[in-house]
Amino acid sequence: MAAVAPTLARRIARPGMLPLCSRPQAWGRAARQSPGLPRAPSLLLTQRRAFSNNKILVELDEGSGIATMKLKSPPVNSLSLDFLTEFCISLEKLENNRGCRGVIFTSAIPKIFSSGLDITEMCRKSTEHYAEFWRAVQEMWLRVYGSNMVTVAAINGSSPAGGCLLALSCDYRIMAENPKFSIGLNEAQLGIVAPFWFKDTFVNVVGHRVAERSLQLGCLHSAPEALRIGLVDELVPEEKLQDKAAAVIAQWLALPDHARQLTKSMMRKLVLDRLVAHREEDIQNFISFITKESIQKSLHMYMEMLKKKKG
Ligand SMILES: CCCCCCCCCC/C=C\CC(=O)SCCNC(=O)CCNC(=O)[C@H](O)C(C)(C)COP(=O)(O)OP(=O)(O)OC[C@H]1O[C@@H](n2cnc3c(N)ncnc32)[C@H](O)[C@@H]1OP(=O)(O)O
């Protein structure tokens, strides 16, 4: 962990402190700037502002109000505690900037959007660590799923499990049309179970039947199959992905913010409220589950399998 990271992590995770997401988000928050006419971002003569931390590059186009958050945590953008902390801090900065109205999530790592939760964070750690880690996973989801901004995932690589959850939490998903890239909630293949809020988010995107089959089998769907089942909204050639994502956001931002935001809130509130109401219980469930010896063995075997595949 980098020198400053424990402080940042505690800021999100320390029990007793207000979690960042306790501030009202998509529900009960004032609308952002009036949208004005839809404008193609590439035609604007505008200033770009960039900031970054160790793992995420953020660029804000002040003319269009569209930011890009590029995940850059080699080798595979796994969602470690440090990564999740930096992610939430970057997203909070954008949420607090009233000039920012939309965010594109994409990857700076070739062929990988995100490899999901960092498995090493779930192996042979202390109960305190598991609690801190799981609170950070919850925080990421609450922030993205509950965001007032328009959110688009530009999925330029494979995106299993937690990586898929990040994409599912956005308003729209565009994937590079490479059949080698796959996406899905493959937890069952690791011998673990996607928690209820992963499942609810998935069901809200693809429907109950498709979600049930896919979750039970731990499916990773190729890009064309992901389009067929509605897991992603469209496929485009990789070189067109970023422009397409900006064009989609511009289209969504052409609507009055308050109407879009209230509609989003109405569609997502039940699922969000369920986790907010049961957050501590969910952390305890995670700890009881992950500390089982059989689960630790399954995770260990899965990591070994990843290493063997490489060698
Ligand atoms: C009753 C209910 C109670 C609720 C209980 C809740 C239980 C927990 C729920 C948890 C929810 C979500 C879980 C997850 O997100 S788990 C993560 C799932 N991810 C995966 O399965 C992806 C695994 N990785 C891959 O398939 C491939 O690595 C890749 C992403 C396709 C990339 O392939 P590649 O060939 O380019 O790279 P590779 O050589 O495989 O990997 C490079 C190194 O990175 C390591 N690594 C890969 N993924 C992860 C990861 N997710 N975490 C940590 N480390 C990872 C890999 O081991 C290589 O390391 P090294 O170089 O060998 O040291």
What are the tens digits of pLDDT across the range 98-125? 999 999 999 999 999 999 999 999 999 9
Give the lowest-confidence range in 4-13, 44-53, 162-171, 240-249.
4-13
| pLDDT computed for residue 28 by the predictor | 33
Instruction: From 21, 111, 102, select the one nearest 59 (Cα to Cα).
Output: 102
In short, whether 308's Cβ falls inside 6 Å of ligand 1 is: no
The number of C-alpha atoms within 13 Å of 238 and in the hemisphere containing its C-beta is: 15
Between residues 51 and 204, which one has the greater pLDDT? Answer: 204
| pLDDT computed for residue 41 by the predictor | 46
Q: Of 121, 156, 186, 253, which is the active-site residue?
A: 186
pLDDT-derived band at 286, boundaries 50, 70, 90: very high
In short, whether 226's Cβ falls inside 6 Å of ligand 1 is: no
Ligand 1 centroid to Cα of residue 118, in Å, is: 6
Give the three-state DSSP class for 32: coil
Annotated catalytic, 186?
A: yes
In short, whether 211's Cβ falls inside 6 Å of ligand 1 is: no
CA 137 to chain centre: 9
Average pLDDT over residues 269-294: 98
Ligand 1 centroid to Cα of residue 304, in Å, is: 11
Mean pLDDT of the chain: 89
Give the Cβ contact number of residue 153 at 10 Å.
30
pLDDT-derived band at 46, boundaries 50, 70, 90: low
In short, whether 119's Cβ falls inside 6 Å of ligand 1 is: yes
- Residue 106 is classified by DSSP as E
Instruction: From 302, 282, 306, select the one nearest 188 (Cα to Cα).
Output: 302
In short, whether 289's Cβ falls inside 6 Å of ligand 1 is: yes
Which tokens go with 293? 């010896």
Ligand 1 centroid to Cα of residue 115, in Å, is: 5
Best of 82, 107, 111, 115 for a ligand 1 pocket test (most atoms within 8 Å of beta carbon): 115
Between residues 265 and 44, which one has the greater pLDDT? Answer: 265
pLDDT-derived band at 48, boundaries 50, 70, 90: confident
CA 15 to chain centre: 23
In short, whether 75's Cβ falls inside 6 Å of ligand 1 is: yes
| pLDDT computed for residue 51 by the predictor | 87
Evaluate if residue 56 carries a pLDDT over 80.
yes
Ligand 1 centroid to Cα of residue 266, in Å, is: 34
Q: Which residues, other chains included, contact 166 with Cβ-Cβ below 8 Å and sequence gap of 6+?
A: 79, 105, 113, 114, 140, 144, 153, 159
Helix 127-145 crosses helix 81-96 at what angle (to 10 degrees)? 30
Annotated catalytic, 187?
A: yes
Give the lowest-confidence range in 30-39, 99-108, 218-227, 235-244.
30-39
Q: What is the CA radius of gyration of the chain?
A: 19
In short, whether 193's Cβ falls inside 6 Å of ligand 1 is: yes
pTM of the model: 0.91
Cis preceding linkage at 195, omega within 30: no
Average pLDDT over residues 255-275: 97
Residue 253 vs residues 34, 37, 225: alpha-carbon distances, Å:
9, 9, 29
In short, whether 183's Cβ falls inside 6 Å of ligand 1 is: no
Report whether 68 contacts 103 (CB < 8 A).
yes
Residue nearest to atom 30 of ligand 1 (CA): 115
Share of the chain above pLDDT 90, in %: 82
Evaluate if residue 3 carries a pLDDT over 60.
no
Q: Where are the alpha helices (DSSP H) in the chain?
A: 5-13, 81-96, 127-145, 162-168, 187-190, 196-206, 208-217, 223-228, 241-253, 257-277, 279-290, 293-310
Residue nearest to atom 40 of ligand 1 (CA): 306
Share of the chain above pLDDT 70, in %: 85
Average pLDDT over residues 290-296: 98
| pLDDT computed for residue 311 by the predictor | 74
**How do the domains of the chain map onto residue ranges?**
40-310
Strand partners, 103: 67, 151
Topology at the third CATH level for domain 40-310: 2-enoyl-CoA Hydratase; Chain A, domain 1 (3.90.226)
Ligand 1 centroid to Cα of residue 214, in Å, is: 18
| pLDDT computed for residue 47 by the predictor | 86
pLDDT-derived band at 45, boundaries 50, 70, 90: low
Ligand 1 centroid to Cα of residue 78, in Å, is: 7
Burial class (CB in 10 A: 0-12, 13-18, 19+), 70: buried
Give the Cβ contact number of residue 27 at 10 Å.
17
Evaluate if residue 162 carries a pLDDT over 60.
yes
Residue 267 vs residues 227, 273, 278: alpha-carbon distances, Å:
22, 12, 19
Between residues 237 and 1, which one has the greater pLDDT? Answer: 237
Residue nearest to atom 50 of ligand 1 (CA): 118
